[in-house]
Chains A and B, each alone.
Chain A
């Protein structure tokens, strides 16, 4: 439970800027390792927490503090109820918050200022009341990993392009891979928060939690294996695709095996959650509490994005028309076609096709990221429903 100031019995809160516990009443400050909680047993496997439950999404929010937000940090709904006092399993370590609340807001605001497509009212939503610091549970695993991939790629043979097959298999020894240990946070979102630098980690001390929320790992060993295998596959995939000398390389099928070494380390890693609603849809933007990396997809004003697309469309059309008209008066109607010739048109067509494909693929990826950011979808994408 929350420790109190030994000078005035005021509430102590961990300040990421000074890395000290500070008393809001008398201004005293203490290093967390110097503060002794009379009621806590450091040798115990458990520590005391207060558990709050969101009636809307079912998320459990855990805090050692006596004060809690009136909004759910996951779905943004105001249906938070105190549930129980609970004993939670003591993690092995944690990385204390190093990015302050003000810094986190500043990092998000940097992205919002001079942003031509994000709605202006979002700037008013990026405020301290909507931002919550949460220690997210992670498992740090060492693993042996084997994967066999069957791939295809396109190779140019003279004038025609043919699809070729490739086979790859290999082993990797992974060390200190962070695997998010919460079922609520989606793996694809949590891996974007990386890197976390474990050199800054401390032995777990609940005093670091003062002023923040925390979440405990609710996954089973099989979930951990699956999440770790998924993470390792993503890393392996990037490497294996680079070994194929072809274009449009795709993994058609794969098989993988993982062996997690004994005693993965249970850690709590710091993340700031900015939760807000826009057009009745909830959004959650994350900030790595150690590095300040901002993760998430902001809503955009459709009118402005369409206007940009239409402007580019008209610009390209106008460019062609201008070229044709300028040549028409000097050399006649067909001069444009002769100067450009078949190879010129073919080259432009290939470029346009590549731009079209890249545009479609990229927009689909951003759309997927947007759906992940809309936190009700984060809940839908919970790990137990993955795969």
Chain B
């Protein structure tokens, strides 16, 4: 009887300590968030894309092996053959970096 009582009390004390520690930790996080950490990212995808994401694959509860099929299907760069004009300043920076590498 006494042993049972001791077990119950021990479990109860452990439970209280864990619960109190968890809430204390959460309170500390909330206080730091409010008073010390300023400026979260506030821009969502809608800020820069009117149409949003057009999903081409939408698999729920798939087997873990689906990962390999997914990356096989999307593993090739769809924009590979596109060529673009690169701004001059970016080209100059590349040349500058190459020059510095040679000097080093």
In A252-286, the 8 Å CB interface with B consists of 252-253, 255, 257-264, 266, 285-286
Does any Cβ of B come within 8 Å of A150's Cβ?
A: yes
* Across-interface contacts of B18 in A (CB, < 8 A): 349, 352, 356
Closest partner residue, chain A, to B29 (CB atom)? A362
Interface residue total, chain B, C-beta cutoff 8 A: 73
Does any Cβ of B come within 8 Å of A12's Cβ?
A: no
Does any Cβ of A come within 8 Å of B103's Cβ?
A: no
Q: Which of A65-73, A95-103, A166-174, A374-382 lies at the interface with chain B?
A: A166-174
Q: Contact: A363 with B74, CB < 8 Å?
A: no
Q: Contact: A298 with B66, CB < 8 Å?
A: no
Does any Cβ of B come within 8 Å of A76's Cβ?
A: no
Other than A170-B53, A171-B54, A305-B32, give 9 A-B pairs with Cβ distance below 8 A: A148-B70, A165-B66, A170-B56, A176-B48, A216-B89, A217-B93, A263-B85, A314-B20, A348-B15
Binary B-proximity of A146-172 (CB < 8 A = 1, otherwise 0): 101010000000000000111111111
Of B30, B39, B59, most A-chain CB atoms within 10 Å: B39
* Across-interface contacts of A244 in B (CB, < 8 A): 60
Binary A-proximity of B46-83 (CB < 8 A = 1, otherwise 0): 01111111111111111110110011011101110010
Does any Cβ of A come within 8 Å of B104's Cβ?
A: no
Does any Cβ of A come within 8 Å of B10's Cβ?
A: no
Q: How far is the CB of B49 from chain A (nearest CB, A)?
A: 5
Closest partner residue, chain A, to B70 (CB atom)? A167
Closest partner residue, chain A, to B63 (CB atom)? A165
Q: Contact: A192 with B41, CB < 8 Å?
A: yes
Tell me the bound Cα distance from A305 to B62 in angstroms. 45
Q: Contact: B62 with A166, CB < 8 Å?
A: yes
Binary B-proximity of A318-358 (CB < 8 A = 1, otherwise 0): 00100000000000000001000000010011001101101
Q: Contact: A175 with B15, CB < 8 Å?
A: no
Q: Contact: B78 with A369, CB < 8 Å?
A: no
Tell me the bound Cα distance from A137 to B45 in angstroms. 22
* Across-interface contacts of B27 in A (CB, < 8 A): 308-309, 312, 359
Q: Contact: A294 with B35, CB < 8 Å?
A: no
A148-B71, A262-B84 known; A173 and B22 CB under 8 Å? no
* Across-interface contacts of B92 in A (CB, < 8 A): 89
Which 3 A-B residue pairs are closest in the complex by CB-CB distance? Answer: A295-B39, A359-B25, A259-B79
Does any Cβ of B come within 8 Å of A199's Cβ?
A: no
Q: Contact: B38 with A173, CB < 8 Å?
A: no
Tell me the bound Cα distance from A159 to B52 in angstroms. 37
Q: Contact: A165 with B29, CB < 8 Å?
A: no
Does any Cβ of B come within 8 Å of A118's Cβ?
A: yes
Q: How far is the CB of B97 from chain A (nearest CB, A)?
A: 6
Q: Which residues of A does B touch, CB under 8 Å?
A: 45, 89, 111, 115-118, 144, 146, 148, 150, 164-177, 191-195, 216-222, 224, 234-236, 238-240, 243-245, 252-253, 255, 257-264, 266, 285-286, 293-300, 305, 308-310, 312-317, 320, 337, 345, 348-349, 352-353, 355-356, 358-360, 362-363, 366, 369-370
Q: Contact: A170 with B57, CB < 8 Å?
A: yes
CB<8 Å pairs between A and B, sample of 19: A89-B88, A117-B32, A117-B35, A150-B67, A192-B41, A222-B94, A235-B49, A253-B71, A295-B38, A295-B39, A297-B36, A298-B37, A309-B24, A309-B28, A313-B21, A316-B19, A352-B18, A355-B23, A359-B28
Tell me the bound Cα distance from A294 to B38 in angstroms. 6
A115-B35, A170-B54 known; A224 and B22 CB under 8 Å? no
